[in-house]
Chain A
Amino acid sequence: MVPLYWYLWLGGVVFAIGVFGFLARRNIIIMFLSIELMLNGVNISLVALSHYMQDLRGQILVFFIIAVAAAEAAIGLAIIIAMFRNRDTLHADEMAEMKG
């Protein structure tokens, strides 16, 4: 049996990789993927905790997170396409029409 804290470390590390990717990368699609990575880190931790505590709430929350992430992807990609049509760029540093 794999101990609980292995899963929690895995979830935490996946989440941290996501945070790092979001802060370090400048391509909007990659930044968006990093957010998905953060959500999956959360999902791993929740499922592990839920199984360990024999409590279903964590798994219910995971289902909600997966469903919301799908909606988020649909809306996010639509917004990114709308911006690409106006600006021809996917680079976060070139989104600088407004500053100050």
Chain B
Amino acid sequence: MNEINVSMLAPLLPEVIMASAGILVLLVELVARRKETAGLLSIAAVAVAAYYVPHSFGKSFGGMFVSDGYSAFFKFIFFINLILTVLLSMRYLVIEKSNHGEYYSLVVFSTLGMMLMASAGDLIVLYLGLELMALSSYVLAGFIRHDARSSEAAVKYFLLGAFSSALLLYGITLVYGLTGTTDVSLIGAAVVEKGLSTPLFLSVVFLMAAFGFKTALAPFHMWAPDVYEGAPTSVTAFMSVGPKAAAFAAFGRVFLTGFGSLSTDWTGILVVLSILTMAVGNILAIQQDNIKRMLAYSSVAHAGYAVLGIIVGGAEGLAAMMNYLFIYGFMNLGAFAVVIMLRSEGVRGEALEDYKGLAKTHPFAAAVMLVFMFSLTGIPPTAGFIGKFYLFKAVVGAGYAWLAVVTVIFSAISAYFYLRVVMYMYMLEPEGEAVTLSLSPSLGLALLITTLVVILIGVYPSPLLSFARLAAG
């Protein structure tokens, strides 16, 4: 047996920092007069943890915890997600009359869970990380306690989330029974040795369903629109990027390392799920008149694109997926930042109608929203184009040219509902009272960062691409 000593904790240093930060934020919140202090503290903690991520490569606890390039790339997505979410939330929570410091602590713990998922070399660690992430986000979804929609969203998220983790556990049990281990790389070796059997296929299906729930792949997406619409907007922004990316990280590791040798048996199912997801997400988004709900269906559709990376497999596919999720994080958080900006005292600002004539009343906000909508559609020179382009390149390179064609058709459909927002802003006259923007310095900073990055990656993508390839390599 391995001796347990302090040096084993070295690869876990970023996680240790985040765990301490979560507790510290909770304590500071008790004494701080301004709750924003807790938010700033969590950003500072992320900066420290991010500094240690590249210095912490290695395995720990007998391979249960793996810190490598793959996990490091995802951790950066989670850190960016946390920083931007905190910036979005500061003023928004005051408007929603729910300005409690626990919020920031929950965001930190949820991020810690995601980090564990990305680094999980063992299904036990994967399960614990997933639950830490999920339990914190259930509470976040219901954070506005006096709002019926928020608590309804929390209940739906909780029930379906708990159901999906029970499916995950049954899948883990079957794998454990068949291979005698829960270590992902040992499972990979045992699967190569034993080949496919009916119970093993059943466990692959269980695990796929569980990850499908977490990444909101159709037909396991039905919780997403309700939860995304009801949850506080800042939490929706957080949930649509972080937990999704974390689930993709674990999905990729378990399926490509653990079940890699069976890929011919499961890619078929995944192709069907991917096409179904793109269809459901893009087509149902068309009929939404609530922008949060529309963005929820759009995030379902984007999960359908990202899963193409796992279908392609190998370093090339993973790099394309990671690259896509990174870009998706920025553009989606940016779009939600605009939605949050339209929310002010007494005005919900979630209806598509509220965007009518925004270019006349608030040209700056409209221009920023235009960038994000173009990027989500995938129009050059925005980052969204780069993400889709490299994904299609990987898909075609793996010999799935027809699948790339299907994806292009669905992204053409998506142009309808993204550009409708642009049409409302630029081509219609403002109706009734003009909406007031609740722009705060922190929200402005978040908008500035997201807009700049979306345009910068669109114009000069090579550093991100080489980083993703290096990390997947």
Contacts and interface: CB of A to CB of B under 8 A. Distances in A.
Interface in A67-100: 68, 71-72, 75-76, 78-80, 82-83, 85-87, 92, 95, 97-100
B169 A42 contact: yes
B225 A18 contact: no
A18 B167 CA distance: 11
A1 B188 CA distance: 33
A35 B145 CA distance: 24
Contacts of B158: 75-76, 79
A68 B131 contact: yes
Given A42-B170, A83-B152, A35 B163 contact: yes
Contact of A46 (B162, B163, B173): B173
B226 A22 contact: no
Interface stretch (B9-17, B134-142, B322-330, B381-389): B134-142
A83 B287 contact: no
B147 A86 contact: yes
A51 B459 CA distance: 59
Given A46-B176, A75-B139, A79-B139, A60 B124 contact: yes
Contact of A55 (B124, B180, B230): B180
Interface residues of A, number: 43
B152 A95 contact: yes
Nearest to A55: B180
Nearest to A54: B180
Given A38-B166, A72-B162, A61 B182 contact: yes
A25 to B, nearest CB: 11
B170 A38 contact: yes
Contacts of A76: 138, 158, 162
B438 interface: no
A28 B152 contact: no
Contacts of B148: 83, 86-87, 97
Contacts of A28: 155, 159
Contacts of A97: 148-149, 152, 230
B177 A8 contact: yes
Contact of B156 (A68, A72, A95): A95
Contact of A79 (B138, B173, B225): B138
A98 to B, nearest CB: 5
A32 B151 contact: no
Given A35-B162, A57-B124, A72-B162, A79 B146 contact: no
Given A28-B159, A87-B151, A98 B176 contact: no
Contacts of A83: 142, 148, 151-152, 154-155
Select the residue from A18, A60, A83 with max chain B CB neighbours within 10 A: A83
A80 B142 CA distance: 10
Given A35-B166, A38-B170, A72-B131, A100 B124 contact: no
Contacts of A65: 127, 169
B124 A49 contact: no
B142 A64 contact: no
B169 A35 contact: no
A52 to B, nearest CB: 9
A98 B138 contact: no
Nearest to B169: A42
B152 A18 contact: no
Contact of B173 (A18, A45, A92): A45
Contacts of B177: 8, 45, 49
Nearest to B292: A98
B128 A22 contact: no
A98 B229 contact: yes
B181 interface: yes
Interface string B354-367: 00000000000000
Contacts of A42: 166, 169-170, 173
A81 B124 CA distance: 31
B147 A79 contact: no
Contacts of A18: 166
A98 B15 CA distance: 37
Given A32-B159, A87-B152, A68 B176 contact: no
B293 interface: yes
16 contacts: A31-B159, A32-B162, A42-B170, A45-B177, A49-B177, A58-B176, A60-B124, A71-B135, A76-B138, A80-B155, A82-B142, A83-B148, A83-B151, A86-B147, A86-B152, A100-B293
5 A-B pairs with least C-beta separation: A38-B166, A83-B151, A86-B148, A42-B169, A82-B151
Interface of B: 124, 127-128, 131, 135, 138-139, 142, 145-149, 151-156, 158-159, 162-163, 166, 169-170, 172-173, 176-177, 180-182, 225-226, 229-230, 284, 287-288, 293
Given A35-B166, A57-B124, A98-B153, 9 more contacts: A28-B155, A38-B163, A38-B170, A39-B169, A45-B170, A61-B124, A82-B154, A97-B148, A98-B229
